[in-house]
Amino acid sequence: MRKYLSLIVTFALLVSAGMQTSKACTNYLITKGASVDGSTMISYAADSHVLYGELYHWPAATWPEGAMMDVFEWDTGKFLGQIKQAPQTYNVVGNINEFQVSIGETTYGGREELGSQSGAIIDYGALIYLSLQRAKSAREAIKTYHELVSEYGYYSLGESFSIADANEVWILELIGKGEGEKGAVWVARLVPDGYVCGHANQARITTFPLANGKTSITSDQLDKLFDPAVETVYAADVISFARKKGYYKGTDENFSFSDTYAPVGFGGARFCEIRVWTMFNDVADGMDQYWEYVKGNIDHGKKLANGDENVDHYATNRMPLWVKPNRKVGVQDMFGFMRDHLEGTELDMSKDMGAGPFAVPYRWRPLTWEVDGKRYCNERATATQQTGFSFVSQMRSWLPDPIGGIFWIGIDDASCTVYCPMYCSITRAPHTMERGNGAMMRWSDDAAFWVFNQVSNLAYTRWNLIHPEVEAKQHAFEDEFVALMPMIDEQAKTLYDKNPNLAVNYLTDYSSSTGDRVTHEWKYFYRYLFMRYMDGNVKRPNPGHQNPHVKQPGYGENWYKKIVDETGDQFKVIGDGH
């Protein structure tokens, strides 16, 4: 019972410590057949201006009959109620558990009237972390989702979830039923092997195969969910509920979950779908045809793709839910996807006036702004300054579960972080990343969140000069980790064959020391960068002399031309300039 009470307090402290997210997250989903090594992978960026980045951990536990647990809203820490505890819960590190089940999310919101449900207890954060504690497979997590929202109600807005294990990758989209009804409507689809998928704050599941009892089933047939032939499962009333609410008039075959419950508009395309497009465009052919769509130009043709009348005014130029890549995707490719700023497109954030003289690919919020009564926007790229943490989870079926799952975590902005490998079975987080080491308004000198923010915020001041050094440093670490992985796996497997606990202890020590080492070296890296780039100069050592070599690169020719274009002769030097 003491262990039970301890974990309840842990959960309460976690949510009340400022673990808040916002509608600005990105997930990329990679199947076994689409990856370089046959692993499955999902990525996630937890983006919020008030989210403190750290590594969460729940140890495995057994619970007495009748045990209850408190549930708190993930975004605010508000107490929502109590639910029945599972008899057995599993070890969870970040967003992966000891059985290599991993879950990510993005909030899409959807129809506002469905976002409130009196008496509901389960929010989207609870769905993630309760399912990770209770599920041994992606399919079991889907079943857990349905059971939780059906019994306790759904408290949050519309959500897209990535749910994966070492063999399968699923996308599940869900929205509550609003006041007067309990639970949620949802659709889950298995991403076909060899394909990649993504979602980024816009619901993306459109039409789907209707229940046939074999490859597609409803929530009334969950006893069939564990048949590998099942590739689609959905709430039995997902269409009838939409009809009852007046959201849908067409045939069942033409029903689109996304277009019905979260119709895409300018913001859904320009701020959300464009982030999915950047990854698709990197790995697949033919994505140029969707460029106008992701810029926010939504078509609503008179006919659907099958020739039927578009009676529900659906968008008709949307991207596919998944694409087949023209190359295999590796874990370091995933790191790169998470660091995108729309480079190579006409919306490249480092190229316009907002980038300033140092080509900074970031814009301070708000996301939209007005001039002379007209509304304008900043871009919302995958990499963003307000990321608390991001991850790439990698699940490998050819290894025992405690060794096969790796949670690559990066604290702060993905473009300025280092993705550190945390094996899914570890029993403690690195001290520099553990929960409680600092907070959003409480400084800690050895907290990864503050150390990485020092470097990133310095880099924002002169991006084109400082970030190349940051990039070289992060790649050196990540190259090392990837190169060492086979050796770490082999050593862990040798220990596992003797005694699984020996392997877990070994992986815990490796993961924990790696996270702490990176943070401490990044702290010294910040000191180096600060000395080198202080006061607008660029300095380097000058051996044998008191003073270093100093360069003063200024603002660059193009920026000086912009100053003259704007100010004319205001700064013109007359005569000899003395």
Could you state, in order of their start, the residue ranges of all structural domains in the chain?
2-340, 399-538
Mean pLDDT across the stretch 538-567?
95
- Angstrom distance (rounded) from CA 34 to CA 189: 17
Q: List the beta bridge partners of residue 188.
A: 172, 233
Yes or no: say if 377 and 431 are a contact pair by the CB < 8 Å rule: no
Residue-wise pLDDT for 392-438, tens only, equals 999 999 999 999 999 999 999 999 999 999 999 999 999 999 999 99
The pLDDT value given to residue 11: 38
- Strands annotated E in 396-462: 405-411, 420-423
Crossing angle between the packed helical segments 124-134 and 138-152, to the nearest 10 degrees:
130
The pLDDT value given to residue 575: 82
In the chain, the percentage of residues whose pLDDT exceeds 70 is 96
Q: Could you give phi then psi for residue 445, rounded to 5 degrees?
A: -65, -25
Beta pairing, strands 232-234 & 184-190: antiparallel
Residue-wise pLDDT for 55-101, tens only, equals 999 999 999 999 999 999 988 889 999 999 999 999 999 999 999 99
- Angstrom distance (rounded) from CA 295 to CA 319: 12
Burial class (CB in 10 A: 0-12, 13-18, 19+), 376: exposed
Crossing angle between the packed helical segments 448-459 and 463-498, to the nearest 10 degrees:
150
The pLDDT value given to residue 79: 95
pLDDT reading at 364 higher than 50: yes
DSSP state string for 44-56 = EEEE-TTPPP-B-
Mean pLDDT across the stretch 236-261?
98
Beta pairing, strands 322-323 & 368-371: unpaired
The pLDDT value given to residue 17: 35
Mean pLDDT across the stretch 447-471?
98
Place of tokens 């360069």: 551
- Angstrom distance (rounded) from CA 47 to CA 548: 40
pLDDT reading at 476 higher than 50: yes
- Angstrom distance (rounded) from CA 382 to CA 273: 10
Q: Could you give phi then psi for residue 198, rounded to 5 degrees?
A: -165, 160
H or E segment to which residue 477 belongs? helix 463-498
pLDDT reading at 10 higher than 70: no
- The one-character DSSP state at 558 is H
Residue-wise pLDDT for 28-44, tens only, equals 999 999 999 999 999 99
Question: 22-26, 252-256, 441-445, 492-496: which has the minimum mean pLDDT?
Answer: 22-26
Residue-wise pLDDT for 324-345, tens only, equals 999 999 999 999 999 999 999 9
pLDDT reading at 202 higher than 60: yes
